[in-house]
Each structure stands twice: as structure tokens, then as C-alpha cells.
């Protein structure tokens, strides 16, 4: 197969992939409702806040432990 034909074959396969992906996004994907989206967003924000607080507490504890160790010269 000549190089030019292979190039067009690759472009055709890429174009087919894009068309099929677009069709799937429009007709086969079930998108969440606005209420479901808000609920999921709320869950993610609360979980992120909890994780941030846990990391903050762990950081403060390790800071105080290391400060004490270095002050005592251990």
C-alpha cells in the first residue's frame, strides 16, 4: 500500500472514531440530572473538606512532634 493511501486510511479511521464517539455521546450516554449533579458535587465538596481537615491536623501534629524533637536535641 503506498504511503499516500495509508495516510488517507489513517485519516478515515480517525474520522470514523470521532463520528462514532460523537454519536455515542449524543444517543447512548445517560447524563445525570441537575439534582443528581448537585448531590454529587455536594458529596465531593464535603469529602474534600474532611480530607483537608484531616491533613491539616496531621500536619500540625507532625510539626509539633518534630519541633519538640529538635528542641530537645534528640
Give the pLDDT confidence score for residue 10 in this predicted structure.
Answer: 76
Sign of the torsion angle spanned by Cα atoms 30, 31, 33, 39:
positive
Give the pLDDT confidence score for residue 39 in this predicted structure.
Answer: 98
pLDDT tens figures, 26-70: 999 999 999 999 999 999 999 999 999 999 999 999 999 999 999
Domain boundaries, the chain: 1-30, 32-74
Give the pLDDT confidence score for residue 74 in this predicted structure.
Answer: 66
What's this model's pTM, rounded to 2 decimal places? 0.61
Give the pLDDT confidence score for residue 73 in this predicted structure.
Answer: 80
Cβ atoms of 53 and 60 within 8 Å: the answer is: no
Residue 44: all three cell numbers together: 465531593
Give the pLDDT confidence score for residue 2 in this predicted structure.
Answer: 54
Amino acid at each position: 500500500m503506498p504511503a499516500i493511501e495509508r495516510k488517507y486510511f489513517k485519516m478515515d479511521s480517525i474520522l470514523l472514531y470521532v463520528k462514532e464517539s460523537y454519536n455515542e455521546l449524543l444517543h447512548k450516554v445517560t447524563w445525570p440530572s441537575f439534582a443528581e449533579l448537585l448531590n454529587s458535587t455536594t458529596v465531593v465538596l464535603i469529602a474534600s473538606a474532611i480530607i483537608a481537615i484531616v491533613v491539616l491536623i496531621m500536619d500540625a501534629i507532625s510539626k509539633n512532634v518534630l519541633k519538640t524533637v529538635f528542641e530537645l536535641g534528640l
